[in-house]
């Protein structure tokens, strides 16, 4: 099975976690795109979605799924999203698609986080994938030095040769060279640095369930 087929498999499997009549929290990325496509098959049985990015909003709306603003909704039963890395405790690195801030906001609004990923995303320790950090541009240089003090190398993410600008109008640093052995402690520490909008470690908003696509089928990890 190709990686794309594994993504389709977990995208479809995630439909089992969608409560009829509810508003669904929807993440961002190529795996979530498979979920959105599958969700279209039950669009008449859900009230709609809260989306974590402009890209997911456009895809949902194109398929006829109503998108609510997060501020219009109190609590969501379930949030479905992918990950760049996930460990056996459900802690994740996210933000490869630059949507980490809104992803964390919608995840925090949801009772259950269902992560969908192909099995290549499962790791023992977080940190091989460059850690995305959304930052206020004027703080980027100082935050780069703070990561250097932890042994990390931060690089400004570019798109077509210029700094990528997120949906929130900010920049992304991708940090290599870190081994994140204490995800909760690390997230707490980096969150306190002035100018950090969101760090891509999802420890406080970890996955409650992970559907991992493998050649033998979907493995459920809780």
State the catalytic residues.
103
The residue (of 103 and 174) whose beta carbon lies closer to ligand 5RP is 103
C-alpha–C-alpha distance, residues 136 and 63, integer Å:
34
Interface with ligand 5RP, residue 205, by CB under 6 A: no
CB 59 within 8 A of CB 36: yes
End-to-end CA distance of the chain: 24
Residues 6+ apart with CB under 8 A from 214: 6, 118, 119
- Would the annotation count 44 as a binding residue? no
Q: Cβ of residue 55: shortest distance to ligand 5RP, in angstroms?
A: 9
Is residue 213 a contact point for ligand 5RP (CB under 6 A)? Answer: no
- Residue of 95, 127, 152, 183 interacting with ligand 5RP (CB under 6 A): 95
Shortest Å, Cβ 90 to ligand 5RP? 14
Q: Residues 148, 173: contact at Cβ < 8 Å?
A: no
Residue nearer to ligand 5RP on the CB measure, 97 or 127? 97
Residue 84 annotated as binding site: yes
CA distances from 138 to 23, 104, 141, 181, 190 (A): 37, 23, 7, 29, 17
Region of 14-22, 90-98, 179-187, 207-215 interacting with ligand 5RP (CB under 6 A): 90-98
Cα angle, residue 75 at apex, residues 74 and 76 outer, rounded to 5°: 135
Q: Tell whether 219 is in a known binding site.
A: no
**Is 207 annotated for ligand binding?**
no
- Binding region for ligand 5RP (CB under 6 A): 27-31, 81-84, 94-100, 103
């Amino acid at each position: 099975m190709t990686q794309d087929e594994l993504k389709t498999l977990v995208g479809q499997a995630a439909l089992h976690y969608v409560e009829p009549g509810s508003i669904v929290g929807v993440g961002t990325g190529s795996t979530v795109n498979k979920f959105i496509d599958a969700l279209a098959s039950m669009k008449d049985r859900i009230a709609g979605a809260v989306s974590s990015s402009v890209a997911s909003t456009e895809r949902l709306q194109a398929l006829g799924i109503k998108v609510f603003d997060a501020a219009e909704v109190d609590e969501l039963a379930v949030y479905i999203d992918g990950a760049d890395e996930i460990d056996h405790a459900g802690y994740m690195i996210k933000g490869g698609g630059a949507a980490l801030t809104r992803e964390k906001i919608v995840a925090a609004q949801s009772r259950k986080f269902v992560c969908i990923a192909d099995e290549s995303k499962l790791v023992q320790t977080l940190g091989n994938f460059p850690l995305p950090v959304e930052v206020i541009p004027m703080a980027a240089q100082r935050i780069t030095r703070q990561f250097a003090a932890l042994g990390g190398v931060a690089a400004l993410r570019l798109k077509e040769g210029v700094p990528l600008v997120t949906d929130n109008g900010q920049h992304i640093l991708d940090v290599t060279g870190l081994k994140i052995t204490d995800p909760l402690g690390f997230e707490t520490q980096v969150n306190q640095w002035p100018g950090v909008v969101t760090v891509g470690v999802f420890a406080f908003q970890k996955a409650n369930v992970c559907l991992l696509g493998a050649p033998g089928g979907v493995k459920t990890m809780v």
